[in-house]
Amino acid sequence: MRIGEKLRGTVTGIQPYGAFVELENGTTGLIHISEIKTGYIDNIRDYLTIGQQLLVQVVDVDEYSKKASLSLRTLEEEKQKVQRPHRFTSDRYKIGFEPLAKQLPHWMKEAKSFLDKQTEN
């Protein structure tokens, strides 16, 4: 069992803090209430029932006890395509720092005059 692996399992127990799942490979895991879905969950029993078959993703494994931390939320988020925010770039113009270099003398004059006024006061 590895982190990121997707496995099938059956819900064997439900507590207010999460659900216990018996995985197809014979190990036991816990889906913490925060890993069931994105957003607030008031009652875990509204989303899961004992005996329910699930596809879960492993988010952590305890090597000593062979127990896994599982998630449904990561699978839900995987289905949603997240748009990458557009950021301005001048790569296609191949102008590099040229616009900044042209403005630098003007900015230096502005800064000098501002500092001169500050020292006069």
- Residue-wise pLDDT for 74-87, tens only, equals 888 766 655 666 66
Note the pLDDT of residue 38. Answer: 85
pLDDT at 9 over 70: yes
* Cα–Cα dist 121/119, whole Å: 5
pLDDT at 35 over 80: yes
Question: What phi-psi label fits residue 26: left (phi over 0), alpha (psi between -120 and 50 degrees) or beta?
Answer: left
Please check whether residue 58 is in contact with residue 69, taking contact to mean a CB–CB distance below 8 angstroms: yes
- Residue-wise pLDDT for 51-67, tens only, equals 999 999 999 888 888 88
Please check whether residue 44 is in contact with residue 16, taking contact to mean a CB–CB distance below 8 angstroms: yes
